[in-house]
């Protein structure tokens, strides 16, 4: 089937390449000429495991192309819209400027019977407001939210854990559903659940999933705050409650909290939309979820200060990580990068290293010192703080080796990813998040 993907950022580029990899003919469209040139040359403009391979394969096969011309979308049966919905400046609400612009630019190139499938994360009610504009061309709007995990986005697109389609009522919705089933046939044939809903439910599925995950992370971080004053170990606490099948262990990792381009801005936009709907009290707890998350960053800074005797001024602090999570170069709202910037503001000589995110971080925070080599970054450090749980920090860095390089013996484990006993045995003063 011929498909178009409007917006070739993180979501759109992965979706376009993944759809081509399962046999569709796909054109990706974006107004950013440099991004399109990079993609058309088979070069991923960001780091995502597996993307470069399917991108190159798709272009070589002729099934995947990229353009800055919206007219290239003409003739596609399904047009996926995957542009960004950032947080508005000075507020919590989602900025729908890019969604509206993408749909408006697409409208002249739609034909009778086309499907426009929104994939962007939007406030509930957005699809209903866009539908009349799409219907006026004879096309049908559906809402098909994405559930990608950075670092696993290719896998999550090709083999998702569920597919959700919000469609209009009646024959139009039934026909659109059938078309989407054809698009995603390989996944459905493997048993992926295909859930058909109305527009509002499809929109809420995405934001409520993110709100739940953010709440679970902040819950265990709230328990870490209690554990710190009570002398308990939040990691053992999480293990114990995680054995309850109703709770589960995933997303119960206490540390410096969540970041990235989705969870922080999505829970804020959800709160703002609930206020607009007159039900702000229903998700008022999300404000506290956000506040807990931000407090853990400050706590990590405090632990570094404590380890260095209360003063970080003039001390060399090595920060292991810049990306908001491993297997990504995404620094959007990165807790670890925020911690590094805060330490720099207190006068520390901050040296930051990361396997993939250094250039992105340098562009945003040129005041920090960046070193690509892990061991070089550790050399002469008075304190070390782990903020992104890359394997080369959590599994491959022996505490004895780190001790042979660093000047001091203070390590702050911002992700509770290290073995405290092993680091203490190697002479380090170990500080965890919510651990004695």
Q: What is the per-residue pLDDT for 424?
A: 98
Give SS3 for 365: coil
Q: At 19, is the pLDDT very low, low, confident or very high (cuts 50, 70, 90)?
A: very high
Across 84-91, average pLDDT: 95
CB 55 within 8 A of CB 33: no
| Helix and strand numbers, DSSP H then E, in the chain | 18, 14
CA 386, CA 253: separation in Å to the nearest integer? 14
Q: At 365, is the pLDDT very low, low, confident or very high (cuts 50, 70, 90)?
A: very high
Across 109-134, average pLDDT: 98
Q: At 186, is the pLDDT very low, low, confident or very high (cuts 50, 70, 90)?
A: very high
- For residue 173, give the H/E element and its range: helix 170-183
Across 265-285, average pLDDT: 97
Q: What is the per-residue pLDDT for 321?
A: 98
CA 120, CA 130: separation in Å to the nearest integer? 13
Among 12, 18, 48, which residue's Cα sits nearest to residue 32?
A: 12
Q: What is the per-residue pLDDT for 129?
A: 98
- Residues 22-67 have pLDDT tens digits of 999 999 999 999 999 999 999 999 999 999 999 999 999 999 999 9
Tell if the pTM clears 0.85, that is, is over it: yes
Across 269-291, average pLDDT: 97
CA 296, CA 282: separation in Å to the nearest integer? 25
Q: What is the per-residue pLDDT for 411?
A: 98
Q: What is the per-residue pLDDT for 418?
A: 98
Q: What is the per-residue pLDDT for 28?
A: 98
- Residues 296-321 have pLDDT tens digits of 999 999 999 999 999 999 999 999 99
CB 383 within 8 A of CB 315: yes
CA 239, CA 249: separation in Å to the nearest integer? 7
- Residues 219-235 have pLDDT tens digits of 999 999 999 999 999 99
Q: What percent of the chain has pLDDT over 70?
A: 100
Across 193-206, average pLDDT: 98
Q: What is the per-residue pLDDT for 76?
A: 98
CA 247, CA 241: separation in Å to the nearest integer? 7
Q: What is the per-residue pLDDT for 403?
A: 98
Q: What is the per-residue pLDDT for 184?
A: 98
Q: At 185, is the pLDDT very low, low, confident or very high (cuts 50, 70, 90)?
A: very high
Strands (E), 7-159: 25-29, 64-67, 78-81, 115-118, 140-143
Cα-based angle 196, 205, 101 (whole degrees, multiple of 5): 90
Active site residues: 262
CB 80 within 8 A of CB 6: yes
CB 251 within 8 A of CB 217: yes
User: What does R_g of the chain's alpha carbons equal in angstroms?
Assistant: 23
Q: At 237, is the pLDDT very low, low, confident or very high (cuts 50, 70, 90)?
A: very high
Q: What is the per-residue pLDDT for 204?
A: 98
Q: At 347, is the pLDDT very low, low, confident or very high (cuts 50, 70, 90)?
A: very high
Query: Dihedral, CA atoms, 206, 212, 215, 219, nearest 10 degrees?
Result: -160
Sheet holding 78-81, edge to edge: 64-67, 25-29, 2-6, 78-81, 115-118, 140-143, 163-166, 194-197
Across 149-156, average pLDDT: 95
Q: What is the per-residue pLDDT for 109?
A: 98
Average pLDDT, the chain: 97
Q: What is the per-residue pLDDT for 134?
A: 98
């Amino acid at each position: 089937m011929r498909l178009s993907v409007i917006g070739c950022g993180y979501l759109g580029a992965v979706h376009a390449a993944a759809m081509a990899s399962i046999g569709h003919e796909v054109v990706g469209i974006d107004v950013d000429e440099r991004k399109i040139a990079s993609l058309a040359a088979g070069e991923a403009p960001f780091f995502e495991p597996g993307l470069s391979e399917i991108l190159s394969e798709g272009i070589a096969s002729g099934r995947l192309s990229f353009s800055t011309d919206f007219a290239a979308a003409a003739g596609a049966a399904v047009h996926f819209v995957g542009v960004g919905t950032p947080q508005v400046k000075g507020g919590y609400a989602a900025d729908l400027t890019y969604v509206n612009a993408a749909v408006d630019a697409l409208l002249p190139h739609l034909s009778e019977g086309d499907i426009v499938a929104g994939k962007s994360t939007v406030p509930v009610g957005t699809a209903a407001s866009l539908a009349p504009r799409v219907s006026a061309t004879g096309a049908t709007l559906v809402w098909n939210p994405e559930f990608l995990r950075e670092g696993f986005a290719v896998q999550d697109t090709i083999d998702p854990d569920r597919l959700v389609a919000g469609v209009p009522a009646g024959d139009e919705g039934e026909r659109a559903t059938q078309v989407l089933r054809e698009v995603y046939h390989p996944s459905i044939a493997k048993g992926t659940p295909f859930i058909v809903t109305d527009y509002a439910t499809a929109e809420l599925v995405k934001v409520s999933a993110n709100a739940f995950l953010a709440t679970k992370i902040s819950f265990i971080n709230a328990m870490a705050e209690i554990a710190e004053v009570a002398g308990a170990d939040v990691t053992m606490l999480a293990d114990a409650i995680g054995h309850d099948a109703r709770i589960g262990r995933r997303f119960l990792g206490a540390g410096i909290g969540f970041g990235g381009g989705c969870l922080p801005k999505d829970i804020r936009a959800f709160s703002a939309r609930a206020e607009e709907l007159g039900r702000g009290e229903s998700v008022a707890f999300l404000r506290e979820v956000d506040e807990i998350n931000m407090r853990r960053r400050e706590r990590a800074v405090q632990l570094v200060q404590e380890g260095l005797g209360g003063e970080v001024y003039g001390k060399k602090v090595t920060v292991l990580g810049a990306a908001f999570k491993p297997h990504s170069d995404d620094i959007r709202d990165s807790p670890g990068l925020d911690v590094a910037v805060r330490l720099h503001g207190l006068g520390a000589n901050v040296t930051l290293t990361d396997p993939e995110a250094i250039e992105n971080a340098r562009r945003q925070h040129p005041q920090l010192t960046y070193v690509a080599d892990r061991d070089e970054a550790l050399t002469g450090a008075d304190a070390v703080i782990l903020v992104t749980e890359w394997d080369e920090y959590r599994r491959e860095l022996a505490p004895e080796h780190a001790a042979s390089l660093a000047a001091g013996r203070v390590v702050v484990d911002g992700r509770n990813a290290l073995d405290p006993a092993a680091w203490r045995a190697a002479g380090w003063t170990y500080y965890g998040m919510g651990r004695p």
